[in-house]
Amino acid sequence: MNPFTRKLIVCSAIFFTTCLTGDLYAQEQMQMAADSSLIRLHEIVTIENYSMLGFKTFDEARLSSLGIPLQEYFVRLDQLRDYKEGTLPDSLLKVTNIFIYPVMVNNEVRSSVELLRHDKSWEVSSFGSPKYIQLIADERNNLIKLKSLKATDVIIVDIPSLNLNFLGYYRKKELMLVPVTNYPQLDLVQGKPVPARELFLILAPLAQKHNGLPG
């Protein structure tokens, strides 16, 4: 099993109606949903679960704030199977409508809030996943420093069928993927960028041998 499979604490859904008549308005609505979810997170933290949610103490949970979110994409197994040299790698990225906010305490990542967009509404689908979000946030910070990127330039790219997790960004219009952990069987090193066009050629034969069941 993927060591970075997210352990999610799913709570009752919170929906926020949006009209999405423009990008700015949509962003404002998403931020409102995220701010409300943080209040909800403060409410559900208890003496019994604060550590599971990623906080070092019960009291520090109420000091938390939201970081800059990452948008999540995924790659479908069937399209990876058919990938060939010359195929535009960007075409394999599928939008999940999921945005993951790091939850910060004193500029350190503790937990996360996951928002899911449904048409004209936002659902707060989960809280927690401290190990996952800390890895993701650390790798994003490394990219920002090393590649002179903005936080919003970095996305999450998952290949669920193969249990692979990456961050993505563009270098001179070329999609680059960065492993969030070491994958020695594929000679992929944590934090070392690989052009998506090369990576997908390596992964295509694995996808072709896959039985199609969840990884």
| pLDDT tens profile 25-40 | 777 888 899 999 999 9
pTM of the model: 0.86
Q: What does the pLDDT look like over 184-207, one tens digit per residue? A: 999 999 999 999 999 999 999 999
Nearest to 168 by CA among 74, 76, 100: 74
What's the mean per-residue pLDDT of the chain?
88
Q: What pLDDT is recorded for position 16?
A: 37
At residue 26, the pLDDT reads 75
CB 87 within 8 A of CB 74: no
Residue 57 inside a domain? The answer is yes
What CATH number has the domain bearing residue 103?
A: 3.10.500
Confidence label for 1 from pLDDT (cuts 50, 70 and 90) = very low
Domain membership of residue 150 (yes or no) is yes
Domain count, the chain: 1
Decide if 51 is inside a domain: yes
The 10s digit of each residue's pLDDT in 5-16 is 454 444 433 333
Of 79, 68, 71, 96, nearest to 169 by C-alpha is 71
Q: Give a yes or no: residue 2 inside a domain.
A: no
- Which of 113, 126, 10, 104 has the alpha carbon at shortest distance from 60? 104
**pLDDT confidence of residue 59:** 93
Considering the domain boundaries, does residue 1 fall inside one? no
Question: What pLDDT is stored for residue 18 in this prediction?
Answer: 40
